[in-house]
Amino acid sequence: MSKPFIVVSDGMDSGVFSDLRNTDGLEVHPEKKVSQEELKTLLPKVEGLIIRSATSPDKAFLDAAPNLKYIIRAGEGTDNIDKAYCQEKGIKVSNTPGANNNSAAEHALALMMTTLRHTANADKSMKNNEWNKAAFTGNELWNKTVGIIGFGRIGQLLCKRLQGFEPQVLFFDPGVSESPFPWAKKVDSVEEIFKTADVISLHTPLIDATRGMVNYDLMSKMKPSAILVNAARGKIVNEDDLYKILSEKKIKGAGFDVFAEEPLGESKLRELENIVLTPHLGGSTEEAQFRVGEMAAHQMKEFFLNNKLLNEVGA
Ligand code: MLT
């Protein structure tokens, strides 16, 4: 009997990948990362697929994969998968909930600190043989009001990791009825956070209600001294409006890890001094990649070898 053919398209921890490759009963493609061109050639045969954010199974992709039965998003967000079409075609979808959340929360914290203390610009200037203390006077995080929009696993972890900075934490999340932490206060609207917080961090999934939610009107409610951090999903923020508000210097700065289109192309955001940009590094730590890989590999084995579907994500 032929073995289910598995492809890992966007990279995986090497040790976890070789364990998966050595699993009896599965035929795993020998490369742990394949180009999108190569992936196209594998689609007619693939039965199980493990992806991160670089692969986006849309209708055309799924139609080209007639034998595909199971997609695992090694990570949290599944917005890069056409889940409704997967459901129509009987293709199951899972993610690896929680496995990279600490890294994502820590990256949001890193973006906050870098934006507040101008560390990235100061580093660039030092490498340019300068010593320009005056240009990089920053602000403290200690004792500030931090607003967290989206208080799921990552938002809550960020709230815990922030504790040492003794902030006042406000959060908005219609799905969380009361605050799980005495130092965090639930508020009733996103506007309240935009009006009052010194640091705003986005942690919602990309859904209809959050797509384009952060626009010029909302950002213009921010204090001129406030900063905005996005390590969630690019499309939550209107990027033209973000450019406008930052170039008009209506807010102090921003730290962004995610963008409407990834990889980020020739964006005007790249020209601004008051934004720190990183290439979707939220889940990119060795620790997180080990955990997501291990969980994804386990789920793949359970699905094909034990007929068990773990951490299914619905349409
Ligand atoms: C996720 O959804 O898991 C994060 O954005 C991190 C990632 O894609 O690597």
Strands (E), the chain: 5-8, 27-28, 48-51, 70-73, 92-95, 145-149, 168-172, 184-186, 199-202, 227-230, 253-256, 275-277
Asked if residue 73 has its Cβ within 6 Å of ligand 1, the reply is no
52 classed as catalytic: no
Domain boundaries, the chain: 5-99+286-306, 101-277
pLDDT at 1: 72
Task: State the Cα–Cα distance between residues 294 and 285, nearest whole angstrom.
Answer: 14
d(CA 149, CA 201): 6
Please work out whether the CB of residue 283 comes within 6 Å of at least one atom of ligand 1: yes
Atom of ligand 1 nearest to the CA of 74: 3
Residues 198-235 pLDDT 10s: 999 999 999 999 999 999 999 999 999 999 999 999 99
* Residue range 5-99+286-306, CATH number: 3.40.50.720
Ligand 1 center–CA 20 separation, angstroms: 21
Backbone angles phi, psi at 290, to 5 degrees: -65, -50
Residue 11 near ligand 1, beta carbon < 6 Å: no
262 as an active site residue: the answer is: yes
Do 5-99+286-306 and 101-277 show the same overall fold? yes
CATH superfamily entry for domain 101-277: NAD(P)-binding Rossmann-like Domain (3.40.50.720)
3-state DSSP assignment of residue 25? coil
Verify whether ligand 1 is closer than 6 Å to residue 52 (CB atom). Answer: yes
- Residue 313, judged by CB atoms within 10 A of its CB (0-12, 13-18, 19+), counts as middle
C-alpha atoms less than 13 angstroms from C-alpha of 85 in its C-beta half-sphere: 16
* Ligand 1 within 6 A of CB of 10: no
User: Long-range contacts made by residues 159-167, C-beta under 8 angstroms, separation at least 24?
Assistant: 159/183, 159/184, 161/105, 161/106, 161/109, 162/109, 165/141, 166/142, 167/141, 167/142, 167/143, 167/199
Q: What angle do CA 93, 96, 101 make, to 5 degrees?
A: 140
Cα gap 126→118, rounded to integer Å: 12
CA–CA distances in Å: residue 242 to residues 96, 239, 271: 31, 5, 13
The first and second tokens of residue 215, run together, are: 């626009």
Of the CA atoms within 13 Å of residue 180, those in its CB half-sphere come to 12
Distance CA 28, CA 5 (A): 6
Query: Measuring from atom 9 of ligand 1, which residue has the nearest CA?
Result: 283
Ligand 1 contacts CB of residue 53 (under 6 A)? yes
CA 110 to chain centre: 14
Q: How many CB atoms lie within 10 A of CB 101?
A: 24
Q: Which residues of the chain have pLDDT under 50?
A: none
Considering the candidates 52, 203, 280, 291, report the single residue annotated as catalytic: 280
Residue of 9, 53, 258 to test ligand 1 pocket, by largest number of atoms within 8 Å of CB: 53
How far, in Å, is the centroid of ligand 1 from the Cα of 76? 6
* CA pair distance 70, 309, nearest whole angstrom: 9
Look up 117 and say whether it is catalytic: no
Structure tokens that stand for 218 in this block = 């909302």
Rg from Cα positions in the chain: 21
In angstroms, how far is the first alpha carbon of the chain from the final one?
Answer: 32
**Helical (H) or strand (E) element with 195:** helix 190-196
**The predicted structure's pLDDT at residue 97:** 97
DSSP of 204-227: ----TTTTT-B-HHHHTTS-TT-E
Number of Cα atoms under 13 Å in the Cβ half of residue 17: 17
